[in-house]
Structure 1
Amino acid sequence: MNILSTIAKMKLFIRLFELVILCSLICQVYSTPFLSKSNSNTFGFNRLSVIKNRQAKVWATIPKTRLANATRLPVLEWMIETKQIVPNPNKEQIYFAIGDPTLNGQMVNDESVQAVVDAVNSHKYDGYNSPSGILSAREAVAKRIFEDGGEPTTADDIILTLGGSHALWLAILGLADPGDNILISKPSFPYYKAAILTPNEIEAREYSIDLETREIDLLPIITDEIYQKVVYDGVFVPLAKLAPKVPILMCDGLSKRIHVPGWRLGWLVIYDRYDVLAEVKENVDQSYSNLSQTKGIKPYKPEAAMYMLVQIDDELISMDDIEFCKQMIAEQSLYLLPGSFFGAPNHFRMLMNRKKEQTLEAVDRIVEFVNNVLTPVTLPPMNLMVEENPDNIYLFGPEHQKAVHKAPYVAVN
């Protein structure tokens, strides 16, 4: 009951806040003298024509964003479409499409409801808490995971979320950038693809994994274990118990445990048995410290993922980010990605998930390259004897093998 009451206490005040906002919007709508709807392919579902004081005022047309166009939820679209179909009135309706237990009369128990009511009445959770969720709730989740046979974890490795889908979204957002590849099993929950496309318009493609060559050992894994309590034969084994030497990000929640999908209570658990993420963080800290001391560039310390974005000072360095990265390859054999590819011109992106020694070597090469760009190259002094040059011939520098200027004297080494 510990996990139930503590998480419910933290989450309910969020739901109440949403209810207040909804009521406010409803009141605002009904206070408008007249509303009419017109079909539109623009932002939202419809465009509202607000008629007030006999003068029509039409809301400005707002086009859909690229992210909105790239995101589709086929299940939701199907639900909306099938509502237009009139079922056979001579037969009782049977819902076998949507996995909502409440549609079959499987309701939450009274004890859970009372825990939520008590939490609201106590006013202990009305204020702000940790962005990761109330500590006691995360501790309760960690305890329940261990009691259920899962891998030991701590509250520091848990983030409370607004349901399992939110946990999936956070996991993908923390790991992936545009251009990255994410492998999804088939068949699978359609929200997986939607969550991938939504944050950064990551392209979805199809690949196959050869398990015999253990390619899977090279990849971080996001696992959806919301149905771990719905096992028919045998015993459920958490993927973290079978994890190779990669981080496991496990998504779970209460919707299937106690039949409350509408409460939106979930969590994201990060298993990093071999401290892979800790090494990434160490690389971030050291790289940021070293690059911050270098004139001509400005690093931005990331709070997640495995990349660092570094700004190029265009007042000190005349080349753009694409030329900068090309010259880095030519002079330092270091491969970076121009920030222009991600909508950040005059920046470059570097990886943080390599070995510490290789990361520090890359940082040293960046520093050396920038210093060379900022420092004018001076030729070494030459021991010259000056003789008269009556023919006014060209003076040749021994280092460059080209005429540099005319002079009445010729230099002889």
Structure 2
Amino acid sequence: MKKTITLSTWLLSSLLSLVCLTTNAQAADYQTATLAGGCFWCTESDMEKLPGVVDVISGYSGGKAPNPTYKQVSSGKTGYIESVNVTFDPNVVSYEQVLDQFFRHIDPTDDQGSFVDRGPQYRPAIFYHSAEQKHIAAQFISEIEQLGIYKKPLKTELIAFEKFWPAEDYHQDYYQRNPVRYHYYRYASGRDQYLDDIFGEERNEHPKTLRELIDASKTVMALKPYSRPSDEKIKAMLTDLQYDVTQHEGTERPFNNAYWDNKAPGIYVDIVSGEPLFSSRDKYKSGTGWPSFTKPIDKGYIVTKDDNSLFYTRTEVRSRFADSHLGHVFDDGPAPTGLRYCMNSAAMRFVPKQQMQAQGYGDYLAEVE
């Protein structure tokens, strides 16, 4: 019997073929990172949270004997290390970003095991799949080492990838299949307590990547250093209002402060240290009664942090070297930044344009003109 193909059937078949071709082409672009960070239940759980990661499989790598079992590997005599195979889309996340996520969830300084799990089968390692991966990993480890965020030297091995053996089925997605047992093990292992100590207890709610920390460190190193005087000297040099604002996170009255309506060209510097903060060129009339700016004169001298002193969270602005409370930044400002740095006049000193060179701020004249 002659088969009749309708137009709709042909269109559906063509569409399905196109989807399959697109999916296969996309899968062909995927890359793999093989990483060992102690217990693979935990490493798998943490790596699957990274956007761009397609799949994570728990298993074993580094040994020679075929088809290793968990019992064999856990003996520590096979040469295998508990590992994960991370499949990721390089169009979404880079190999370095995968490593960044990895390092922020392990102890990379312990080559004798991982937290409560002891033995070489739990030591940290990166199994590189290419010369490029090896180079990226080595460079990133070097930068992390220079950052000095960990309290001991890094001892994460770089090992040429040879073979990955998936672990038994009951190990896959263990954190999802056995959430109670997993959370009990993870807490008892001390992993999260260690990570909180290194990265802070707010690391999950407000994560900062190692790359961000490295770049921030480089920025600080490139800055002209300023010093914070002793507490006694600060108290002696400031008025009561200036001291309350900068040292006790106080707030001056709106429309009744030195610079809210100042229109003169110049820069505003920290009242305690003198570090440059804002330019008159970026100052605008916000209607709030406090001096407002669209951006700092140099982001390196500004530090932001969450402020939960009221019934909602605000973003506090402090100076980097003096650690003075300056004010807050809001996202209701004008173009081009859309930000409003709402500052306290009492936290700043104004340096008129004609005095900037003499006071050592000549490098910022271009920011005023």
Q: Same fold (TM over 0.5)?
A: no
TM-score tier (shorter): under 0.3
Larger radius of gyration: 1
